[in-house]
């Protein structure tokens, strides 16, 4: 079978791989679609410090058809089901897992990072980590459930309520999906980014407010939008130093902040302001138990996730698209590769 393998920094290719052997508790998936994530791009660049070793098959945003499974499994997964993969492998035994926070497992493994990923024609995955999707859901949309999980987990982390304002910093795929998710929750998103083209895209998605801190006083603008209060919620999705620091200024007194972006190093924050404003700041990592909601939001059109798809290609073009995304990141949001044209 064919798969997409990164062999070193800047080197990706379609390679021949052995078809997976089925183990107990696993299902064999005929992969239909997989999308490229920022994690895949950093692995391609050679800057992902979590990658165990090269060469590595990338990919964790993946959808397909169950080709083989133990029909007596307790999860209701049957041959022929259309599924999306939950790609975060957890131990189920450590303290976070015992609290239902499997996304924070002490030995968490992500497909395509700590082990070979699912960007290949067939993939064996734990049966209990498959999430069923409606059979009439378009293949190119299904992989987007995974990044939407990350986005809505951020919204859940800051406990966003209907009618509240939320500043979302970073208008990449996660930030834009979070903005559309906030609209689905009847909240009022404000997208913050330094790239005007991304902000225009946000407006075309129905996001009511956008702010470019490189061109205007972002704090003053947010205070204007919120009638002097500041935002009740703030979700940082860029991972930049300035983005993380600005959450303290954008948030209202007693505001709630979710840190979804991953800074590359330690960032100094004004603890005096955090205490004075009694801000609640929480990390927000991946997601736990939110796939069903993400699938429903996409399927019902409440979150039109397909709007972030920049290009759909055949799988053999994915190595080339990795290079394109690396060299021209501003030109794309999501690129989806299709593996099989016939069901």
Q: Do domains 2-147+288-338 and 159-283 have the same CATH topology?
A: no
Q: Which of 187, 191, 188, 197 is nearest to 174 (CA)?
A: 191
Each residue's pLDDT tens digit, 297-321: 999 999 999 999 999 999 999 999 9
For every residue of the chain, which 3-state class applies, written as one string? CEEEEEEECCEEEEEECCCCCCCCCEEEEEEEEEECCHHHHHHHHCCCCCCCCCCEECCCEEEEEEEECCCCCCCCCCCCCEEEECCEECCCCCHHHHCCCHHHCCCCEEECCCECCCCECEEEEEHHHEEECCCCCCHHHHHHHHHHHHHHHHHHHCCCCCCCEEEEECCCHHHHHHHHHHHHCCCEEEEECCCHHHHHHHHHCCCCEEECCCCCCHHHHHHHHCCCCCEEEEEECCCCHHHHHHHHHHEEEEEEEEECCCCCCCCCCCHHHHHHCCCEEEECCCCCCCHHHHHHHHHCCCCCHHHHEEEEEEHHHHHHHHHHHHHCHHHCCEEEEECCCCC
Report the percent of the chain where pLDDT is more than 70.
Answer: 99
pLDDT at position 193 is 97
Residue 15 reports pLDDT greater than 60: yes
**Which sequence spans correspond to the domains of the chain?**
2-147+288-338, 159-283
Instruction: Name the band, by pLDDT with cuts 50, 70 and 90, for residue 22.
Output: confident
Pick the CATH number of 2-147+288-338 from 2.60.40.10, 3.90.180.10, 3.40.1020.10, 3.40.50.720: 3.90.180.10
What average pLDDT does this structure show over 275-302? 97
Each residue's pLDDT tens digit, 148-186: 999 999 999 999 999 999 999 999 999 999 999 999 999
pLDDT at position 262 is 87
Instruction: Please state which of the ranges 48-52, 193-197, 220-224, 268-272 shows the lowest mean pLDDT.
Output: 48-52
What average pLDDT does the structure give for the chain? 96
Residue 341 reports pLDDT greater than 80: no
Residue 343 reports pLDDT greater than 60: no
pLDDT at position 342 is 60
Distance (Å, rounded) from C-alpha 84 to C-alpha 120? 14
Each residue's pLDDT tens digit, 103-149: 999 999 999 999 999 999 999 999 999 999 999 999 999 999 999 99
Question: What is the dotted CATH code of the domain comprising 159-283?
Answer: 3.40.50.720
């Amino acid at each position: 079978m064919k798969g997409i393998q990164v062999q070193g920094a800047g080197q990706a290719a379609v390679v021949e791989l052995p078809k997976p052997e089925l183990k107990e508790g696993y299902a064999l998936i005929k992969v239909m679609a997989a999308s490229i994530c920022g994690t895949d791009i950093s692995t391609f660049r050679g800057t992902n410090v979590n990658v165990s070793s090269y060469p590595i098959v990338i990919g964790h945003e993946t959808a397909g058809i169950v080709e083989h499974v133990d029909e007596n499994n307790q999860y209701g997964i049957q041959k022929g089901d259309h599924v999306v993969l939950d790609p975060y492998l957890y131990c189920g035994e450590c303290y976070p897992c015992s609290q239902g926070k499997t996304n924070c497992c002490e030995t968490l493994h992500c497909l395509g990072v700590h082990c070979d990923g699912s960007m290949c024609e067939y993939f064996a995955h734990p049966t209990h980590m498959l999430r069923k999707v409606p059979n009439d859901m378009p293949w190119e949309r299904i992989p987007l459930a995974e990044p939407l999980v990350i986005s809505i987990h951020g919204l859940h982390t800051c406990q966003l309520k209907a009618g509240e304002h939320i500043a979302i910093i970073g208008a990449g795929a996660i930030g834009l999906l979070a903005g559309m998710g906030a609209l689905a929750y009847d909240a009022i998103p404000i997208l913050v980014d330094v790239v005007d083209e991304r902000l225009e895209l946000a407006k075309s998605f129905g996001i009511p407010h956008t702010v470019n801190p490189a061109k205007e006083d972002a704090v003053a603008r947010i205070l204007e939008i919120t009638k002097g209060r500041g935002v009740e919620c703030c979700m940082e999705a860029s991972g930049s130093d300035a983005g993380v620091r600005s959450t303290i200024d954008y948030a209202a007194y007693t505001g709630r902040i979710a840190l979804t972006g991953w800074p590359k190093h330690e960032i100094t924050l004004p603890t005096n302001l955090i205490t004075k404003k009694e801000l609640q700041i929480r990390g927000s990592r991946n997601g736990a138990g939110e796939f069903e909601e993400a699938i429903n939001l996409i399927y019902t059109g409440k979150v039109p996730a397909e709007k972030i798809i920049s290009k759909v290609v055949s799988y053999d073009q994915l190595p080339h698209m990795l290079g394109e995304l690396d060299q021209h990141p501003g030109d794309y949001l999501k690129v989806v590769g299709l593996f099989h044209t016939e069901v």
